[in-house]
Structure 1
Amino acid sequence: MIASVRGTARHVGLDKLVVDVHGVGLLVHTPPRVAAAARTGSEVDLATTMIVREDSMTLYGFDAAADRDTFEVAQTVSGVGPRVALAIVSVLTPEELAAAVAHDDLATLTKVPGIGKKSAERIALELRDKLPGTTEPAGAPSPAMPSVPAWRDQVTEALVGLGYTAKQSEAAVEAVAVETTGEGDTSAALRSALQVLAR
């Protein structure tokens, strides 16, 4: 099991990175916000987990161990595979997921692409008492958003990649742009856009 990867980002995609670790390029699938925060040539340090199947070995990476743990435990739910688990981690923080499960908040769970009402009910039932604890306090202030338009296309593409329609994605990006007055980065803008879509 590869529990972590540290190296140089040689390629940055919409939801994946190629990380050079001592001359070996590892393809790591990530939430869109993690890929958006990386820059080609910069060092990345990811908490990782590997899914091994008969015909493939797929590495998934996260910027926090809590996200990796949530990704792993989400797959213990019947019918939830890596794709849906990655969408859960992309849309909800570990704290938000734990709160939704604790309160049977199906509306929040169904905001995740690929999760309908029945799936949300299963998640709420099967994840109860399974979610790992987190150390970051809920309600921590979010970073300032960028006021320049350069991030718009990246965030829109990331949202479409998560399963939202182009219209929904563009509306969320526009809402973030209207609410934003400070400097920030693409990763922070993506988080805010996801929060807009979850309203």
Structure 2
Amino acid sequence: MISSVRGTVLGVAGTTAVIEVGGLGLSINVTPQHALSLRIGTEATVRTALIVREDDLSLFGFQDADELMVFDLLRGTTGVGPKSAMGVLAAMTPSQISAAVASDDDAAFRKVSGIGPKTAKLIVVSLTGKIQAFASSAPAPRAATTVTESVLVALVGLGWSERVAAQAVDEALAEASADQAAADQPHTVQQLLRLTLSRLGPQSADPVGSSR
């Protein structure tokens, strides 16, 4: 069992991170939020769960022990596989999951892509009584970064220098309406990232720290 990985981040694409450990590049499935926090060239420590199947070995990575605990609990629910469990963690923090279970709120889980009404109810029933101790000791939710900061982290992780990425984000924001720009969050992370990438172009990524 591989319970954690520590090494240099070699690449991040979508919800997959590649971390070098002992000369080997390990491909790890992570949530979108986790992917945005990883920067190419820096060292990262990731809690992991190794899922073994007949024809596949998959590593799933988490930012902390709480996420890993909830992932394992979710997988214990009938109809919830690793990818569905990651989908829940991508949409809800561990504390939000425990609160939904405590309040018997299966509607919160139905909002997650791929989770139907029956499975949502099963999640609540399955986790009731198992997640209460976690809920009482859960840390405060992590402070959310702004949309702009999240997009900058994503672009640097994809290989653009911070200077080039910041300039492109500023140009994308400048195209937004005055009212939206004043709020500093005219788009979701995905929307602003898409707009910025369209300005940078698909072939214009530079190695981190390179001059341009």
Determine if the TM-score, normalized by the shorter chain, exceeds 0.5.
Answer: yes
Q: Which amino acid aligns with 2:146?
A: M
Aligned residue number for residue 37 of structure 1: 37
Question: Where do residues 81-120 of structure 1 align in structure 2 (5 Å cutoff)?
Answer: 81-120=81-120
Question: What amino acid maps onto 2:84 in structure 1?
Answer: V
Q: Distance in 1 between matches of 2:119 and 2:182?
A: 33
Deviation at 1:152, TM superposition (A): 11
In the alignment, does 2:53 pair up with 1:57?
A: no
Higher deviation after alignment, 125-134 or 73-82: 125-134
AA of the residue aligned to 1:43: E
Q: Is the 8 A contact 1:145 1:180 kept in 2?
A: no
Check 1:40–1:144 CA distance in 2 against 1; reply closer, same or farther (3 A cut).
Answer: closer
Matched residue of 1:133: which SS?
helix
Alignment-mate amino acid for residue 143 of structure 2: S
C-alpha contact (below 8 Å) 2:37/2:153 kept by paired residues? no
Name the residue aligned to 2:124: 124
Structure 1 residue 112 displacement after superposition: 1.1
Contact conserved, 1:146 with 1:180, CA < 8 A, in 2?
Answer: no
How far 1:15 moved relative to its partner? 0.2
Give me the whole-angstrom Cα distance separating, in 2, the residues matched to 1:179 and 1:112. 31
Q: Is contact 1:6–1:45 with CA below 8 Å preserved after alignment? A: yes
Give the match for residue 145 of structure 1. Answer: 146
Structure having the higher Rg: 2
Are the structure 2 counterparts of residues 152 and 60 from structure 1 closer, same or farther at C-alpha, using a change threshold of 3 Å? closer
SS of the counterpart of 1:113?
A: coil
2:76 partner SS = coil
Which residue pairs with 1:20 in the alignment? 20
Structure 1 pair 2–43 and aligned structure 2 pair: CA distance change class (3 A): same
1:66-98 Cα distance to aligned partner (Å, 9 max, x none): 101111110100010011000011111111111
Question: In 2, Cα distance between the equivalents of 1:36 and 1:17?
Answer: 10
Task: Say which SS state the counterpart of residue 134 (structure 2) adopts.
Answer: coil
Cα 1:78–1:45 shift into 2, 3 Å: same
Amino acid at match of 2:20: D
Q: Give the aligned partner of residue 3 of structure 1.
A: 3
- Counterpart position of 1:72: 72
User: Residue type of the partner of 1:61?
Assistant: G
Deviations 1:140-182 (A, max 9, x none): 472441447955997xxxxxxxxxxxxxxxxxxx9xx768549
- RMSD of aligned alpha carbons: 2.9
Residue-pair matches, total: 163
Query: Secondary structure of 2:44's partner?
Result: strand
Q: Give the Cα–Cα distance (whole angstroms) in 1 for the partners of residues 65 and 102 of structure 2.
A: 21
Question: d(CA) in 2 for partners of 1:113 and 1:57?
Answer: 24
Q: State the SS of the aligned residue for 2:95.
A: helix
Contact 2:36 2:150 in 1 (8 A): no
For the structure 1 residues 144 and 57, does the alpha-carbon distance in structure 2 shift closer, same or farther, using more than 3 Å as the test? closer
Matched letter for residue 94 of structure 1: P
